[in-house]
Amino acid sequence: MRFCKLSRQQIAANMDELTQLVAQPEFICQTCARVANTKSNLCKGKAFVSQIIQENSIVAVEGSAKTDNVETNGVSKKSKKLAKKESKLLKKQLKLQKKLNKITMEKDMLGSRFEQLKSIDVQALH
């Protein structure tokens, strides 16, 4: 049964079965982002990258993936490439978070400075 095709009534009637089918997701649908244990329950199922990384104990560190075309220790080149890409995205997200924190601090400092200047200006007028 494909999850995308289920009506609300079917979902309610088959809740126990559905719970078992999503208990340990290994695939994610590229269309609707639903997850399932098997690819056949999804419209466009794709291997769940985090699950692959956990199962094969890949450490997602830049430069850790080898670039050869053969499988090494049961981990395919595609899995390693995805792990490397995920690592780069996490690093980029961390960099952007730091930048946001810096801008927020600057905004707060400017706001407090503005309030100080405003109070000085009001006192000068009186």
Residue 50 carries which side chain, given as an amino acid letter?
Answer: S
Length of the chain: 126
Q: How much is the mean pLDDT over the chain?
A: 76
CB atoms within 10 A of CB 65: 21
pTM (two decimals):
0.38
Chain segment 72-124, per-residue pLDDT in tens: 556 688 888 888 899 899 899 989 999 999 999 999 899 888 888 888 877 77
Tell me the average pLDDT across 11-33. 82
Q: Which helix (H) or strand (E) holds 102?
A: helix 77-125
Chain segment 53-67, per-residue pLDDT in tens: 454 444 444 344 444
**pLDDT given at position 74:** 61
Ramachandran assignment for 88, one of left (phi > 0), alpha (psi -120 to 50 degrees), beta (any other): alpha
Nearby residues of 67 by Cβ (< 8 Å), 6 or more positions away: 77
